[in-house]
Every structure is written in C-alpha cells, then in structure tokens.
C-alpha cells in the first residue's frame, strides 16, 4: 500500500478519535466526573501529538517524492536508524 495513503489514514483515525474524546470530555464534565474528563484530555493531547508526528512524516515523504520526480535519488529512513 502507498505510504502516503497509510499516513493519511492514520491521521483520519486520530482526528476521529479526537472527536470522540471531545464528546467524552463533555459528558464526563456534565456528570461531575472530572478525573475521567482530565484523563480523556490527556488522551486527546496524545492524539494531537501523534497527528503532529504523522504530519511531519507526511511532509518528509512529500519532499522525498519531489526529489525523486526531479531524478534525484533519495531514501526515507527511520530516525536514528544509524544507531541501531
């Protein structure tokens, strides 16, 4: 499967998760379950951070595609791959 599609699919899933978490936070807050609301807020922050990470990966992949289109050989490697 196309790596760009995989990244976009993961972003869509995280955004859907955030939408669900917002609803949960509102529900827990209305019912006075503030610790649960806070926990869901923490989960939402994690999802937002994951989206940022995925957007960064997407940007790097698009840069690599741009160079490949110009005939320049590039390879996307995992961060710290040289340390493995």
CA distance 3 to 32: 43
Tens digit of pLDDT per residue, the chain (84 long)?
799 999 999 999 999 999 999 999 999 999 999 999 999 999 999 999 999 999 999 998 899 889 888 888 877 677 765 565
What pLDDT shows up at residue 69?
A: 83
What pLDDT shows up at residue 44?
A: 98
In sequence order, what are the residues at sequence separation of 6 or more whose Cβ sits closer than 8 angstroms to the Cβ of residue 67?
A: 74
Q: What is the pTM of this model?
A: 0.81
CA distance 38 to 68: 45
CA 64 to chain centroid: 19
The domains of the chain are located at 3-83
């Amino acid at each position: 499967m196309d790596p760009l599609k995989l990244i976009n699919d993961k972003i869509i899933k995280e955004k859907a998760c955030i939408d669900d978490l917002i609803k949960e936070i509102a529900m827990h807050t209305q019912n006075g379950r503030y610790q649960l609301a806070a926990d869901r807020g923490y989960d939402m922050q994690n999802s937002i951070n994951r989206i940022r990470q995925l957007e960064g990966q997407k940007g790097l992949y698009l840069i690599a595609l741009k160079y490949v289109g110009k005939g320049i050989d590039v390879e996307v490697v995992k961060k710290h791959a040289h340390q493995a």
